[in-house]
Structure 1
C-alpha cells in the first residue's frame, strides 16, 4: 500500500464517516440497496488507505454499529430468507476483517440487483401481456361488429400504455382499419404529439382525414409531414395526387414539379405535370 500523508488520511476519514452516515440514513429510510452501496464505499475506502488513529477510534465503532443494525434490519433479514440464507448475523464487524465484510456485502448487493432485475423483467412481461390482450380483444370486438366494446378496449390500451412507443399508433390504426376514422384520428393526434419522430401515426392520420372526407385537415396533415420530416419526392407526389383529387390543379402541378425535380424516375409526377402544365 502506498504511503499517504497525514492530511490525506484525515481527508479519507472524512469521506468514510460521510459514507457510513449515509449508509445509516438509507437503512433507516428502508432503502436497503443504497444503504449497502454507501457502506461498501466506506469499506472500500478504508481498505484502500489508512486513517489517522483518532479517526479510526471513532469510525470503527460506527461501522460496528452499522453492521449490527444491518444484521437486525427486518428488510435485510427477509431478503436473506428469500434467497435461503439463514446464517446469523450476516455481518459482524471485526477490526482487520474489513475485506471479509466488503466481500459479503458486495455479494449481497449483486444478489439484490439480480433479484430486482428478475422482478422488473417479470413485471415488464406481465405489462406486455396486458397490452397484447387489450389490443387483441379490441380488434376482435371491432371485427365482430361490437364497436363500443372494441373502441373502449383500444382507447384503454392507448391511455394506459401511452408512453410505450408504437402503442398509440397501433391502436389508432386498428380503429381506422375497422372503419372508425374519427376515433382513430383522436388517438393518432396524441401519437404524433407524444412521438413526433415516428412516421407511422402521420400516415394513418392522413388516411383517417381522407376517410372522413376532410380535405382541409388532410392538407394540414400533409404539410405537417413536410415540416417534421423534411422534403421527400414521394411525399410531394402524394400531396400532388391529393390536390388532383381535390381539384386544386395549380397546387397539384406545383407539388408534382417538386417531386419530379427531386426524382426524375417518378413517372406519375411527370404525368401530372403534363396534364396540368
Structure 2
C-alpha cells in the first residue's frame, strides 16, 4: 500500500464526514471522487464502512439527548412513539437494502454517469422544493405521526441509487409531507443512525472473507477522518438550514454533477 492510497483514503474520509448529513449524496461524492483519484476498494466496502465514523459523530454530538430519550422510554409515551417512528422509518430501507444489495453494489455503484445524473436531477428538485411556499404542520420531530415516519422511510429508499442522497430524499420527502426545514433535517439525523449502522453491519458481514489487512487499514483511516469532519457538520447544520434553507446544497449538487460530466467527457 503506497502513500498516495493512504492520502486518498484520508481525503475520501473527510468528504464522507462533510457530506453524509447534508442533502448532496456522500456516496455519490465518494464514487465520483474515487473514480477520478483511481481509488478502488474491495467490493466497494470502503465507501460503506467508513460511514461508521459519521454514525459516531451523531452519537457524540447527540449523546445527552439520546441518553435522556433512552431513560424516558419506560415512562414517557411520546418518547416511545418517537423511537417507534424512527424504527418504522428504518424498516423499508432495511428490507429493500438486503434484497437489492448485490444489484446496488455491482451495478449502480459502478456507473459514474448515473451519479452525475442523479446529482443534477436531485439538485433541481431540491431547489424547486426549497422555493415552494410550503406551510409546515409539524415542527417537532417528537410529534411526527407514525404514518409520516413510515412514509419518510419509503422515500429514503430512493437513496439506494447513488447520487440521490439519503438525507436529501428524507428531507425533501418530509418537507413535501408537511414538516419544517429544521425538524426535517433533525429527523434525518436520527434516521441515519439505524440506517447507516444496518448498512455497515450487513456490508461487513457480506464482505468479511474478502477484506485484507490493507483494506482494514484504509477503512480505519477513512473512519477517523469521517468522524472528525462529521462532528463539525452535525454541530452546525441545523442552524445553517434554519438561516439559509437548502438552496446552497442544491446549487452544489448541480455544480458537482456538471463538473462530473465534464470530467468523464475529458478524462474518461
TM-score by length of 1: 0.21
Higher gyration radius (CA): 1
| Higher normalized contact order (CA 8 Å, seq sep 6+, divided by chain length) | 2
TM-score by length of 2: 0.22
